[in-house]
Structure 1
Amino acid sequence: MSLNLNSPQRRLIALRMEHSDLDALIDQAADKTPVDELMMRRLKKRRLALRDEIARIEQSLLPDEPA
């Protein structure tokens, strides 16, 4: 199956990759001392926004349940 460059499935893959990269970055930053609290808050806020967008796209891709 060929995915359109602007398809929701393609966007979902990109968002999941970015979320994973942020997880790794947050883990690395947490190991450093001193921890930059402002940077950590921004990274975590972005990660949460990505998770919300991923959930929204996944929900839109689910087929409607029959009544």
Structure 2
Amino acid sequence: MSLSSHLNQLKKKHEHLSFEVEQAERSPAIDRMHVKSLKKEKLRLKDEIERLSPV
């Protein structure tokens, strides 16, 4: 897998997590631990994207 396709895949996962976080926060029965884990994963992906992105 090339670096650009790997970065694209990471960006798609990051976008999907953003959507999941929004949906979870809108839910009347918010599971705060689940939202917290989603946000941690989203941040981890963002850090990896930044680390792998060319300058």
Find the counterpart in structure 2 of residue 3 from structure 1.
Answer: none
Distance 2:23 2:11 in 1: 19
Structure 2 gaps, min length 5: none
Relative contact order, CA 8 A, sep 6+: which one is greater? 2
CA RMSD of aligned residues (A): 0.7
Q: TM-score, normalised by structure 1?
A: 0.78
Q: TM-score, normalised by structure 2?
A: 0.94
Find the counterpart in structure 2 of residue 46 from structure 1.
Answer: 41
Report how many aligned residue pairs link the two structures: 55
Structure 1 gaps, min length 5: 1-5, 63-67
Which has the larger Rg?
1
